[in-house]
Structure 1
């Protein structure tokens, strides 16, 4: 619990958490987007 208090007690910690959350969200979005386009391309080729 002390780790979370230290993380959110300073603006650098909050910014670091925001960057990590953004990267994880972007990775999830890109994984789904690429998967969708791979399936679409496979359907076009038959």
Structure 2
């Protein structure tokens, strides 16, 4: 219980919480960015395959 009190009331505890939140936000952005580009590349690849089959 004392660990939680220290975590939310001391300057080093709050800084640790901010650091953890920043890392999670960065991880979330990285996952979103990669998934967005994978989806775009997959759609482009499928479109090229469809166009190549029409000729």
Please give the TM-score of this superposition, normalised by the length of structure 1: 0.83
CA–CA distance in 1 between the matches of 2:45 and 2:8?
A: 50
Please give the TM-score of this superposition, normalised by the length of structure 2: 0.72
Report the equivalent of 1:3: 3
Number of equivalences: 46
Is 1:38 the equivalent of 2:38?
A: yes
**Structure with the larger RCO, 1 or 2 (CA within 8 Å, 6+ apart):** 1
Structure (1 or 2) with the larger CA radius of gyration? 2
Q: CA RMSD in A?
A: 1.1
Q: Which runs of 4+ in 1 moved over 4 A?
A: none
